[in-house]
Amino acid sequence: MMTGPKQDRGRAVGEPRVDDTSVDDNRAEDPTAEDREAMVAEIIAEVAATAGFLGKDRLDPRVLEALRKVPRHAFVPAWERPFAYENRPLPIGEGQTISQPYIVAIMTDLARIGAGDRVLEVGTGCGYQAAVLAELAAEVDSIERFPALAAAAAERLASLGYRNLRVRAGDGTRGWPEEAEDRAPRPYDAILVTAAAQGAVPEALIRQLAPGGRLVIPVERHPRDPAAQGFDLRVLWFGPEQDLLVLTKDAEGRVAEEKILPVAFVPLIAEAGAEET
């Protein structure tokens, strides 16, 4: 598949641009337009079906528009492109995946990102979630554990015209402290983590969240002891038990936690021997 016309990614979704043509004209030029619409329609249907978990039956229209804009096929290997707009995860290398579009949609919606917000993503992967965030926020910082994935994502995002985000390789459990803790007036308004924390949310991420901010993170309920011998048959058969959580920090720094729904993510892994920042 070919990508559609290059767009200015520095704008918030819905912000007018002087050279915008009609939506119909743009879609006529984009051979993936129907696939993108079908993907969004499937997300809308799945959100309605899981409204009992989500507490709502529809997402912010800005989130859906961002999903329409971002060319998912540009973020997957060539051999996976025929499946790029299917509502499922796909492998991207290093044992990692590009998340299911439904999961990307609900995590983005749960973060309640405003046009002027600073957002931190932990787990860049191929850069797809970062691109969706960059359609909505003023600034996005994204951290990836694997240097090869981080470098490829940074190059890919730059080639697509995104100018309001930065990618670096590092330990995501530490967040990006020099950008949040050392600049007290501007910690992150939202943090999204695309890997499952083992039993507890990293304290560094909570510290880097602004008052009123939201931290969206999957957490494994019963993490396996890495020193344990043998196989955990429960995990081997059914996979680890994980919940998607939303943590909200109030003006006094108190944190409230809300459980959303069961999910399945790769584990969030700290650097060996690293101490929390």
Q: What are the catalytic residues?
A: 99
Amino acid symbol at 162: Y
If residue 140 lies in a helix (H) or strand (E), which one and from where to where? strand 139-144
Residue position matching structure tokens 């079908």 = 38
Task: Please state, as a whole number, how many other Cβ atoms lie within 10 Å of the Cβ of residue 277.
Answer: 16
Residues contacting residue 122 through CB under 8 Å, at least 6 positions apart: 142, 143, 172, 173, 175, 191, 192, 193, 194, 195, 205, 268
Distance CA 36, CA 251 (A): 39
Strand partners, 91: 97
What does each C-alpha distance from 191 to 48, 73, 207 come to in angstroms?
25, 25, 11
Structure tokens that stand for 27 in this block:
């879609």
Residues contacting residue 135 through CB under 8 Å, at least 6 positions apart: 9, 12, 13, 65, 66, 69, 70
Q: Are 141 and 176 in contact (CB under 8 A)?
A: yes
> Residues for the chain: how many in total?
277
What does each C-alpha distance from 189 to 82, 138, 154 come to in angstroms?
36, 11, 22
